[in-house]
A and B are shown apart, each in its own frame.
Chain A
Amino acid sequence: MSEYNRVRVLVVDDHAVVRSGLSAFLQVYDDLELAGEVASGQEAIRACETLQPDVVLMDLVMPGMDGTSATRAIRQRHAGTQVIVLTSFWDEELVRSVLQAGAIGYILKNATAEELAAAVRAAHGGRPTFAPEVAKTLIQATAHPPDPARALTNREREVLALMIAGLSNTEIAERLMVSRSTIKFFVSSILAKLEVASRVEAVALAVQRNLVN
C-alpha cells in the first residue's frame, strides 16, 4: 500500500500514556499512519487545519475543550475528516450528543488493536463502528423510550390508582391504613417521578399511558 493511500490518523488524548500506546499501535499497520498527537480539543482543531487527517481518534473527557465540542467543530469545518470517539464512558446521553456532533464511531478503551484498526478503516470508508456496549445502549434507547411508570414502586402505583379513582389524600390514607402525611409523601414522589407539576397532570398522564393495571 503506497504511502499516499494510508489513512492518516490524529490522536487526541490528554493522557500521554494513551498517546504513546496509540502511536505504537499505528506503527504496525501498513494502511494506517500517525498524522499527529495532541492533548486537548483546541489543539485538535488546530491540528486538523494543519495536518488534514483522515480520521481523528478523539478522547471525550479532557481539560479545556472537551471531545464532543471539538468533534462538532471539526466536523463542521472539515467534512472529509471523520471522528471516532475513544473513551471509557458510554452513558446514553454522552453517546447521543457525540453522535449528534458528527462522530462516526464510538469505541471504548477496552478495544483490541484489531478492532481499533477496523474502526479506523471503516470510518475512513464512511461506515460507523460502535463498541458492543455502545450499540446496546443505542438500541435500548431506541427500543424503549423512557417509561416513567417503570420507576414507580408498587405502593406508588397503588396510590396512583386511587388518585385516578378520584380519592383525596385523606381517603387514600384511610383506605391504605396509613397516615395522611405518608400519602402526601407518596403523592409528591409520584409527581416527581412522572415529571409533572400537579395531581391532575399525574392522573392525566397515568390514564393516557395506562401506567397502572
Chain B
Amino acid sequence: MQLGFVLALLLLVLMGLLTYQATRKLREVDERGSQAAAALAKIEAVSSLLNDAEDVQRGYVITGDERYLGSYDAEMQTINQDVRDLEKLTVEYPSQQEKIAALKPLIATRLGEIVATIDVRREQGFDPALKMILEQEDKPVMDGIEALLSGLRGEQEQQLYQRAAEADAREYDIIVRIAIGCMVAIMLVTGAGILIDRDIRARQQAEANLRKSRDQLAIILQGVADGISVRDASGALIYANDAAALALGYDSVAALLEAPGTDMLQKLDFLDEQGQPIAADLPERLALRGQQHPETIVHFRVRDTGAERWMVVKATPAFDERGLVQFAISILHDITERVQAYHTLERRVEERTHEIARRRQVAEGMRDILAILNSNRPLDEILHTILVQAGRLLGTDAGVVYRLSGRDPMLDLESASGLEPDMADGIPASWRPLSQAIESRQPVAMSDIAEHDDLADGALAPALQARIAALRQHFRAVLAVPLVVKEEAYGVMALFYPQPREFSRDEVAVAVAFSDQAALAIENARLRIQAERVAVAAERSRLARDLHDAVTQTLFSTTLIADVLPRLWERNAAEARRQLDELRQMTRGALAEMRALLLELRPATMAEIDLGELLRLLSEMMGSRARIPVTLTVEGQCPIPPDVRLTLYRIAQEAMNNVARHAGASQLAVSLHCQASQIEMRISDDGRGFDPARVAGDHLGLEIMRERAGDIGATLCIQTRPGEGTQVLVVWPLPQAVAALPAVAAGARLG
C-alpha cells in the first residue's frame, strides 16, 4: 500500500516534470507565435498609420481645415515606434531585418513628403500642394513601402502558421502525456485507496471488536456474583459492578459511583471477624498503598438499618511500569448466607446443648421420681418428691397437688411443697386456674393472676374468697396441670410463683410430664391398695382352701366314721378299735390344722412359739392328712430368732406338703438338731422320690424353699432319686458361731 503511494507520488512528480517541460516548450512556441502575431499587428499598424497619414495629407490639402491635422505629429511618432518594435520582434529573422532596414528610409521619405505637402498647402495654398501630390504619385515611394510591408506580412504569416502547427503538436503531446500519467496515477491512487480503505475497515473492525469485548467484559463483570470494584491511585472509585454496589449497600452502580468518597464510611461500619472496626485497614486501602494481602473477611454493617453482610475481600494493587500503584482491584465475595447459616447453626447447637442439658435435668428428675415410685413409699411422700423435682426444674419451690373432693366444693390437699398447708388448703375447686385445668384436662398457665379480676368467684362464700385473696397476695403466676388417673379427672397439680412470669411451651411440657408422674404415683397407690385388698382376699381364700383341704375333709371323714362306728363295733370289735384310733388321730390332726390356721392368721403368735413345737404341730397335721406315721426328733436347745424360726417353719411346711401330696410315702421323719455352731433341720420320707433335673418349673416349690433359706443365710440341700425317697436338709449357722468358727461353719454349709 505504501509502495503504491510512493509510486503514485513519484509518477505524479514525473508527470509534473514532463508536463512542465512540455508546457515550457509550448510556451516558447506560443511566445514565438505571439511575436509573429505582434509583428503582424505592427506591420498592419504601420500600414494603417501610413494610410492614415496619407488621408490626413489629402484631407488637409483638399479642405485646408486644420482639424484634419489633429494628432498627426503623434501618429508620425507612433509609426516610427512601431517600426522599431517590429525590428525588435523580428530580430531572429535576418531577411525581415533586411526588409525593415529597407523600409525605414522609405517611411521617412513618405512621411517627409506628407509633411512637405501639408506645409505647402498651409503656406502656398491648394494648387501647389496638389501639384506636389501629383508629383509624389509619379514617384511611388508608397508602393515600395507597401511591397516591403507585404513581404514582411507574408513572412510573418508563414511564421505564425508554423508556430501554430508546432504548438498544436506540442499540445497534443502534453495532452497524451497528462492523460497517460493521470490514468496511471488514477490506477495507483485507486489501488492505494482500496488498500487504505481495507486498512481503515480492518481498523474499524478491530475497534468494534475491542468495544464489543469491552462490553462483553462489562456484561461478564456485571454478571459475576462477586462484587468487583476498581479504585485509581487517588482512591477514587472508577469501576464497580452491580454486585459490588449491592454489597456496599447501594441500589445501583451509578449511585455508588456518584456517591462522595466519604459516603461509604458514613454509611457502613467495617468490622473484622472479631467485630473490631477496620475502616483504616480495609484491604483496598492497603492495596492502594501497594500492599498485597491474602483474602480478608470483612463484616459490613449498614448503620441505618443494621443490615449485615460478610464478604471475603481480596484487594490487589496494579502497578505501572514505574512500579507505582495505578489501581486497586477489589473482589468481594459475599459469604453472608454462609456466615448466617453458621451463626444459625451455632445458635442451634447452643439451643440444642441447652435443651439437652435441660432434658438431662428432666430425665434425672424423672429418674429420681421413678426410683421413689418403685420404692413403695407412701403416696404423699412420692407426690412431695414430684413437687420438689418439678419446682426445681420449673423455677419455684411452691407446689401443691389437689384431689377433687366428692363431698364439697373444696379441693382436698394431697401434698404441698414450699408453702404452708394452711395457705394451700381450703381452695375451692371453682377457682379458675385450677377448675379450668381440671375441666379442660389441659395445662393452664397464668403469667399474672393479678391481671385476672374474675378468678375469685364472687358467688363464693366470703371465707373462701379470703383464702383465695391470701393466695393471690403471695403469688402472681400459676401453672396448673390436670391430674388424670385412669382417664378420670383426679385433681390438679399447681405450681405457684411469687412474681409474674411467662411459661414456655417446654416448661408446660415438663410440668405435664411431672403431672403424669404424679398421676402414675396415684394410680400406683391405688393399685397397691387394690393389690393389698387382693392379697387379703387371696389370704382368705387360701384359708378357706386350707379349711376345706384339711378340716372339712377330716370332719366329714370323722363324722362318717363316728356314724358307722357303733355298727362296726357290733360286727368287728378289732376293726372298730382301729377305726377309733384312726378317729383320734384324725381329730388330733384337725386340731393341729386349726391351730396352724390360727397361727397363720396371727403370725405374731407364731414368732413366740418354739420351733420344736411348731414342727410337732406340722407333724400331727401332715400325719393326719397323709394318713402316714410321722416321727419327730428334736435335739438340743434352739435359741433361734423369730424370723429364722418362721422361715424354717415355712420350709418344713412346704417340704411336708410335698410329701403328703406327691411322695406316696409310708414314713415321714422330721428332725431338728440344735448344735453350738449351727442348726440342722431334716425332713425325709421313703416315698417315690424324683429327678431334680426333671421337675417342671417350680412345681414343688423348691425354688421358694431355696430363696427362703437364702434370705436367712441358711443352706438348703435336697437329696433325692426316683424310687429312693427324698431328704430335705436345711443348715443355718448360728451368727456367733460364724464369727468364731468360720471354717467349721463353711464346712457345715457345704455338708
Contacts and interface: CB of A to CB of B under 8 A. Distances in A.
B564 A28 contact: yes
A19 B553 CA distance: 10
Contacts of A21: 556-561, 586
Given A16-B625, A17-B586, A28 B557 contact: no
A130 B582 CA distance: 29
B440 to A, nearest CB: 15
B556 A25 contact: no
Nearest to A16: B627
Interface in B656-680: 660-661
Interface stretch (B255-263, B567-575, B595-603, B736-744): B567-575
Interface string B485-524: 0000000000000000000000000000000000000000
Contact of A27 (B552, B556, B568, B626): B568
A20 B557 CA distance: 7
Contacts of B553: 13, 15, 17-18, 109
A39 B155 CA distance: 198
Contact of A88 (B552, B554, B572, B626): B552
A113 B564 CA distance: 7
A22 interface: yes
A103 B552 CA distance: 23
A67 B552 CA distance: 18
Given A17-B627, A63-B661, A88-B548, A24 B564 contact: yes
B301 to A, nearest CB: 62
B564 A25 contact: yes
Interface string B81-116: 000000000000000000000000000000000000
Contacts of B559: 21, 110, 112
Contacts of A88: 548, 552, 556
B549 interface: yes
Nearest to A114: B563
A98 interface: no
Contacts of B625: 15-17
A109 B552 contact: yes
B582 A20 contact: yes
Given A17-B624, A116-B560, A28 B549 contact: no
Contacts of B159: none
B557 A18 contact: yes
B575 A27 contact: yes
B579 interface: yes
Interface in B563-597: 563-564, 567-568, 571-572, 575, 579, 582, 586, 589
A24 B571 contact: no
A136 B582 CA distance: 35
A24 B549 contact: no
Contacts of A25: 560-561, 563-564
Interface in A66-124: 88, 109-110, 112-114, 116
Contacts of B568: 24, 27-28
Contacts of A27: 564, 568, 571-572, 575
A18 B627 CA distance: 10
Nearest to B563: A113
Interface string B591-632: 000000000000000000000000000000000111100000
Interface residues of B, number: 28
A88 B735 CA distance: 48
Nearest to A116: B560
Contacts of B661: 63
A114 B560 CA distance: 9
Contact of A28 (B554, B556, B567, B589): B567
B562 to A, nearest CB: 9
Contacts of A110: 556, 559
Nearest to B548: A88
Interface in A155-170: none
Contacts of A15: 549, 553, 557, 625
A13 B548 CA distance: 13
Nearest to B554: A17
Nearest to B662: A63
Interface string A4-32: 00000000010111111110110110000
Contacts of A13: 553
A20 B564 CA distance: 13
Nearest to B547: A88
Residue with the highest number of chain A CB atoms closer than 10 Å, among B561, B564, B567, B568: B564
Nearest to A59: B553
Nearest to B664: A39
A21 B552 CA distance: 12
A155 B626 CA distance: 54
B560 A28 contact: no
Nearest to B661: A63
A129 B25 CA distance: 186
A162 B589 CA distance: 61
Nearest to B557: A21
A18 B563 contact: no
Contacts of B627: 16-17, 19-20
Residue with the highest number of chain B CB atoms closer than 10 Å, among A17, A19, A20, A88: A17
Residue with the highest number of chain B CB atoms closer than 10 Å, among A13, A25, A63: A25
B586 to A, nearest CB: 6
Contact of B561 (A19, A24, A109, A116): A24
Given A16-B627, A24-B579, A88-B548, A112 B586 contact: no
A110 B551 CA distance: 12
B29 to A, nearest CB: 149
A61 B627 CA distance: 19
A116 B589 CA distance: 24
B557 A113 contact: no
A17 to B, nearest CB: 5
Contact of A109 (B556, B626, B660): B556
Nearest to B579: A24
Nearest to A112: B563
A124 B532 CA distance: 50
B697 to A, nearest CB: 15
A44 B334 CA distance: 98
A21 B562 CA distance: 9
Contacts of A112: 559-560, 563
A114 B567 CA distance: 12
A15 B547 CA distance: 13
B665 to A, nearest CB: 11
Nearest to B560: A21
A78 to B, nearest CB: 26
A17 B558 CA distance: 9
A18 B564 contact: no
B573 to A, nearest CB: 13
Nearest to B569: A28
17 contacts: A15-B625, A16-B626, A17-B554, A17-B627, A18-B553, A19-B627, A21-B557, A21-B558, A21-B559, A24-B560, A27-B571, A63-B661, A109-B553, A109-B556, A112-B559, A113-B560, A114-B563
Given A27-B571, A63-B661, 7 more contacts: A13-B553, A17-B627, A18-B556, A27-B575, A110-B556, A110-B559, A112-B563
Interface of B: 548-549, 552-554, 556-561, 563-564, 567-568, 571-572, 575, 579, 582, 586, 589, 624-627, 660-661
Interface of A: 13, 15-22, 24-25, 27-28, 61, 63, 88, 109-110, 112-114, 116
Q: 7 closest Cβ contacts across the A-B interface?
A: A21-B557, A113-B563, A16-B627, A109-B556, A15-B553, A28-B564, A21-B560
